[in-house]
Chain A
Amino acid sequence: MIYNVELIIINKDIVRDPEGETLQKYVIEKFARDVLETRVGKYIQFKVEASNEDSARKLVEKIAVEGKLYNPIVHKIIVRVNKQ
């Protein structure tokens, strides 16, 4: 089975994100007052061959940790898996 796995790397809530703050202040607030916060992260897309969804997810999580794709002191990761 081939899965599309999306890895999002984003600052933890306690770490300031000036890119998101700038976007919020100069763009988002022009359009809407009910957007309370904007945060910017990095997005990496993988195409993974795996026997099931869970093993595709675990593989990407392992790569993220061992390949230091994020720094756990400042970032959190979000992993999403979809069948192709």
Chain B
Amino acid sequence: MIAIIKFPGTTCEFDVFKALSEAKIPATVVKYKEFDPDKFKGVILPGGFSFGDYLRAGSIAANTETIKDIKRMANEGKPVIGICNGFQILVESGLLKGALLPNLKLRFISKWVYLKVVRTDTVLTKGLEKNKILKMPIAHAEGRYYVDDIEYAKNNMVMQYTDNLGNVTEDANPNGSLFNIASIANEEGNVIGMMPHPERASFKLTSPDGSTDGLLLLKGLAKWV
């Protein structure tokens, strides 16, 4: 069973739940104070605006006891996935290295983007072809990934923003992220953060061209339930 954690202000928990159901992954939504780490084999921190994005997106959730429990799970090798605000919580808590700064153009950006899978040894991308192009939506104001360790960034990035042919260009970089990074993981590949929303790219009816690339990622959790 996968836990989908709800903080006050989290908004994407039921979308993630529905997408996991579509991927046939058993999951349940858990309020952050009621989370019992022993009952779950993995965790998803969904998107939204936890604690109103006060101070910085994700910074208050990062200080909760729930995150301490999740750190222990991560150290045991269990999958810990952060989507959008969940990714912001992962970097604020130090579960992933780096920071998510306000977008370079300072706007909230909501649009579909192309992504290239560059790492295929993570929980979510194992089995996918290297350099495969995926299409998913982003929706965030603070998504400019930055880290002061260039080698770490190069070796651990999982997905990059690209054009439709998979070229990593400045034009395809929506927020000014270092190396067009849309997703990064720890070295072990069990803690993964991503700004794109796979749960919003999991249903034919609600994607612009009927593609369901988000499911390709979420199905990676099947081995863990």
Spell out A's residues near B (CB within 8 Å).
11, 14-16, 18-19, 22, 42, 67-69, 71, 73-74
Contact = CB atoms under 8 A, between A and B. Distances in A.
B148 interface: yes
A16 B63 CA distance: 26
B162 to A, nearest CB: 22
A22 B63 contact: no
A68 B68 CA distance: 14
Interface in B98-131: 98-99, 101-106
A22 B107 CA distance: 13
Nearest to A14: B148
B62 interface: yes
Contacts of B103: 18
B92 A68 contact: yes
Interface string B132-167: 000000000000001110000000000000000000
Contact of B55 (A15, A19, A69): A69
A74 B146 CA distance: 8
A7 to B, nearest CB: 11
A73 B98 contact: yes
Contacts of A18: 102-106
Given A16-B176, A68-B62, 9 more contacts: A11-B101, A14-B148, A18-B106, A42-B55, A71-B56, A71-B91, A71-B92, A73-B98, A74-B146
B59 interface: yes
Given A15-B101, A68-B59, A68-B62, A73 B106 contact: no
B101 to A, nearest CB: 6
B63 A74 contact: no
Interface of B: 55-56, 59, 62-63, 91-94, 97-99, 101-106, 146-148, 176
Contacts of B104: 16, 18
B2 to A, nearest CB: 26
B92 A73 contact: no
Given A67-B63, A68-B93, A73 B148 contact: yes
A15 B146 contact: yes
Nearest to B93: A68
B97 A73 contact: yes
B102 A19 contact: yes
16 contacts: A11-B101, A16-B104, A18-B102, A18-B103, A18-B104, A19-B106, A68-B62, A68-B94, A69-B55, A71-B56, A73-B99, A73-B146, A73-B147, A73-B148, A74-B99, A74-B146
A43 to B, nearest CB: 12
Contacts of B55: 42, 69
